[in-house]
Amino acid sequence: MSHLTPEMLAHVGRSRPPVTELATRREIRKYSVATRQRLAKYLDGLEAPPLFYVALFWDVVSLDRMTPDGVTIDPLLPDLPFRRAMAGGIETQYFRPIRCDDRLVARRTLTDLYEKEGKSGPLCFYEVTLEVETDTGVLVLREKATRILR
């Protein structure tokens, strides 16, 4: 018996509105220092280290909108009967570095939602694809993140 209804599965293919952020030299430098980068191009803020984009596009939410684990419920998801979230993996393709003063546009899409039976009961898997481009349409990266809910 599946816990995922046709109404829940209808959310697959839905996207959030695009989010635009500016990669400033200061933000790149702060991130580079915080993550103990060693290359001058990162420390000088000319180019962002590979994972700089992750926090750049996070929603800023109040603490009361976070789960006890300190994360937010993904707004792309329908209301699911599964509550406990776990990481399932990330695949990232980089097409060019993020550079100082890049205006970046991120688009997130729910690309899959499925269920499997685990040792302790049903598990729900969902995949979200994030594409980041410059504001002129040059593809910077594509990330596919899988999360598991139980």
pLDDT tens across the length of the chain (150 residues): 788 999 999 999 999 999 999 999 999 999 999 999 999 999 999 999 999 999 899 888 888 887 777 777 788 889 888 878 888 999 999 999 999 999 999 999 999 999 998 888 899 999 999 999 999 999 999 999 999 998
Q: What is the C-alpha to C-alpha distance for residues 130 and 35, in angstroms, rounded to an integer?
A: 22
Strand order of the sheet with strand 19-23? 19-23, 102-118, 121-134, 139-149, 85-94
Q: What domains can you pick out in the chain, each with its CATH number?
A: 6-23+68-149 (3.10.129.10)
**SS in 3 state form for 19-39?**
EEEEECHHHHHHHHHHCCCCC
Under 8 Å between Cβ of 101 and 46: no
Taking the alpha carbons at both ends of the chain, their separation in whole angstroms is: 15
